[in-house]
Amino acid sequence: MPKGGHVAVIGLGRFGGAVAESLLELGYEVLGIDSDARIVQDWSDRLIQVAEADSTDEDALRQLGVHEFERAVVGIGTNLETSVLTVLTLAEIGVPEIWAKATSVKHGKILSSVGADHVVFPESDMGERVAHLLTGRMLDYIEFDDGFAIAKVRAPRGAAGRTLADLALRTRWGVTVVGTKRPGEDFVYARPETVVPENAVLIVAGDTAKVESYADEN
C-alpha cells in the first residue's frame, strides 16, 4: 500500500485531476470518480481505481467504499446542485474530512453548511497546492516554476528549546529555514542562534523534492 493512505477524488476535471495527480506523486492511493464515461476512460491508465458513478447516490458511493475513506475531494464546479448534493452525501455516509471546490463565495457558504470541512476557490494551477495541504504534512505550500518551493510546516519533534544551528536542517535535509512563528505571535526571521519555541511552525524553502521529503519525515 502506498505510504500516504487513501483519498477519494470526485470530479476529474482540471482541478480534481490536478489534485489526483499530485496525490499520486505524494504516495497516496486515489479513488477517482466521475459521471462522464469519457473522463473515466481517460483516467483508467493512470489510476488503479477509477469509476463512473453518480456522486449524489449514497448507495453508489458505499458500493465503491467511499465511506471507508478518511478524506474526499469534491472537484465539481460547473454544476452547483451536484456539487452541493455530493458534499451532503459524503457527510451523510460519514467521511471525516471533506474538501470541496467552490466557484463563488455563496457556493462556498452552501458547501460549508452541508458538510464541507475545507472550501477552496482554486485557479487551474491550485490542485497541487491543495494536495499538499490536505495530506496534513504541510500547513501551507507554494511551488514556483523553477522547482523551488516554500512551505509552512510544524517544527520537528524535539526541536523546542534548540537553536536552528543545532537542528542543522540545511545540512540534514537541504532546506533553509526562513523563519519561525507561534500562534498569535509575530513572525521571527531565522538566524542560526534563533531558538525554536514550543508549538512553533517553521517556514522552510528549497528544492521542491527536498522540501517535500523534509515534510514527509517530520
Question: Which of 170, 173, 178, 131 lies closest to 150, judged by CA?
Answer: 178
The grid cell for 13 is 476535471
Report the range out of 16-25, 128-137, 147-156 with the highest average pLDDT.
16-25
State the average pLDDT over residues 150-155: 84
Count CA atoms closer than 13 A to 33's CA, side-chain side.
25
Question: How many other CB atoms are found less than 10 A from the CB of residue 29?
Answer: 17
pLDDT at 2: 36
* Full-model pTM: 0.62
pLDDT at 136: 61
Lowest mean pLDDT among 58-67, 81-90, 194-203: 194-203
Confidence of residue 133 (pLDDT cuts 50, 70, 90): low
Dump pLDDT digits (tens) for 5-21. Answer: 789 999 999 889 989 99
- Does 193 or 4 have the greater pLDDT score? 193
State the average pLDDT over residues 148-162: 85
pLDDT at 11: 96
Question: Which of 28, 38, 35, 32 lies closest to 1, judged by CA?
Answer: 28
List C-alpha distances in Å: 19 to 77, 83, 122, 213: 14, 17, 11, 19
pLDDT over 50 at 125, yes or no: no
pLDDT over 60 at 169, yes or no: yes
**Average pLDDT across the chain, whole number:** 86
- Does 12 or 134 have the greater pLDDT score? 12
